[in-house]
Amino acid sequence: MTTVRYAPSPTGRLHLGNARPALLNWFFARSHSGTYILRMDDTDTARSTREFADGIERDLAWLGIVPDALVRQSERTALYETAKLKLIESGRLYPAYETEDELDRRRKRARAMGKPPIYDRAALRLTAEDRARLEGEGRKPHWRFKLDGKPVHFTDLIKGEQTVNTASMSDPVLVREDGSFLYTLPSVVDDIDLGITHVIRGEDHVSNTGTQIEIFEALGGKVPFFAHHNLLTDAEGQGFSKRLGSLSLSDLREQGYESLAVAEMAALTGTSLPIEPYESLDAIASRLELSMISHGSARFDPAELDSLNARILHAMPYELARPRLEELGLASEPLWLANRQNLNRFSDIQEWSKLISGPVVPIIEPEDREFIDLARDMLPAEPWDEATWILWTNALKERTGRKGKSLFLPLRMALTGRHDGPELKALLPLLGRRVCQDRLS
Ligand code: GLU
């Protein structure tokens, strides 16, 4: 049974960059009939808020992601306490008392001596008396995980064989002085407890994976498969920051982008699956494989979002558009089909629909007056359909010798008051004979 999780920290709004793992996990779950868990990594109580957490749920729903379960780390502390004791008992978690300043000085000294600034494990050499004395001075311990110091190997489902050498890393702090947990341990405890089979996350976590595999093993848990994807960057190669606010999903939604366009850009940039209008997230899920994710960069191009958004609208079947058109009071299939080709944003349909409902100020150049009068007189009898336009303009062509632009443009300008717009053959039946007659007059 495949189980994945998307594990955002609710310390900001979702943006394109962190929508990427949300979607990649979703596609994986859908294509493997798996379970998708939304896990709020909210152990950092100073920066996590319920508002941000609720916003994340809303943004995911907008994208089309409906998690099977939601868990909050802030409600699961008892599990982490149990794991902490287990690690202390097995000698893998040890108390350390250095202050930030002390650690900083030691790192500088190490660098000055040409050594890597790795924690020197001085705390491991403290005797029970040393510890009692330090605690007597009012110091409280933070807790470090004792790394094995051996290379950790794993087969990444995207990046292939990986080795993380924990010998070149400091023993990570798992528990802060105030007893709160950092991300590293709760993540592993939850992955074990929730039966996570695949951890799909950004490649900035590869070295964490080295540490976490050691923790999985120390806790006797089953190590899941890992897949580390490339990170989405802006055109300059800079990462998206969730506190930047720009290109947050809620901003993009407000700007009227289709959620599917946003989802595709977030997930498919930097993969070998072409970015084109798919019918749904499921249609992408059935095509995308982890192996299609590039090892190189994933640069987001805002112009591509605009063009994809338009292409999605141009191809959107009426059935899909209908509920939204109903909300605008514009639910009409011929109206949709006549105008969708001109949309950049869905809401543009309101402007285009005014070509039909009016008011429209016809543009008729003095030199075209006679031609337009003739066109009015030659309007075919109703009923009208898509063939009416051809019929009418063929007759006009024969009669006047006009063709191409000099035939079509004056008609367009008189009927719509614009130089561009929807195809007239689709528009004509929507306008009807009376309206056409009025505008041509
Ligand atoms: N909260 C972590 C993050 O947002 C989760 C990483 C992970 O998936 O394990 O980076």
Same domain? For 243 and 378 the reply is: no
Count of domains for the chain: 3
Omega cis (within 30) before 422: no
- What would the pLDDT profile of 82-136 be if each residue is shown by its tens digit? 999 999 999 999 999 999 999 999 999 999 999 989 999 999 999 999 999 999 9
Whether the predicted pLDDT of 245 surpasses 60: no
Same domain? For 80 and 226 the reply is: yes
Whether the predicted pLDDT of 35 surpasses 90: yes
Q: What is the pLDDT of residue 388?
A: 97
Same domain? For 216 and 304 the reply is: yes
Is residue 130 in a domain?
no
416: enclosing H helix or E strand: helix 404-416
Structural domain boundaries enclosing 231: 1-92+148-168+178-315
Same domain? For 75 and 10 the reply is: yes
Q: Per DSSP, which regions of 23-65 are E strands?
A: 35-40
Atom index in ligand 1 nearest the CA of residue 208 equals 9
Is residue 76 in a domain?
yes
- What would the pLDDT profile of 37-46 be if each residue is shown by its tens digit? 999 999 998 9
Same domain? For 210 and 351 the reply is: no
Is residue 396 in a domain?
yes
Same domain? For 161 and 222 the reply is: yes
Same domain? For 228 and 277 the reply is: yes
Question: What is the pairing mode between strands 160-165 and 151-156?
Answer: antiparallel
3-class DSSP assignment, residue 105: helix
Same domain? For 190 and 308 the reply is: yes
Would you say the CB of residue 8 lies under 6 angstroms from ligand 1?
Answer: yes
242 is in an annotated binding site: yes
Atom index in ligand 1 nearest the CA of residue 201 equals 8
Residue 366: is it exposed, middle or buried by C-beta count within 10 angstroms (0-12/13-18/19+)? exposed
Atom index in ligand 1 nearest the CA of residue 199 equals 8
Same domain? For 250 and 380 the reply is: no
Write the CATH number for 406: 1.10.10.350
Please name which of 409, 417, 415, 441 lies closest in space to residue 428, comparing C-alpha atoms: 415
Write the CATH number for 305: 3.40.50.620
Is residue 205 in a domain?
yes
Same domain? For 187 and 249 the reply is: yes
Is residue 403 in a domain?
yes
Would you say the CB of residue 17 lies under 6 angstroms from ligand 1?
Answer: no
Q: Which of 306, 332, 357 is the last residue of a domain?
A: 357
Rounded distance, CA 275 to CA 294, Å?
14
- What pTM does this model have? 0.91
Is residue 118 in a domain?
no
- What would the pLDDT profile of 247-306 be if each residue is shown by its tens digit? 899 999 999 999 999 999 999 999 999 999 999 999 999 999 999 999 998 999 999 999
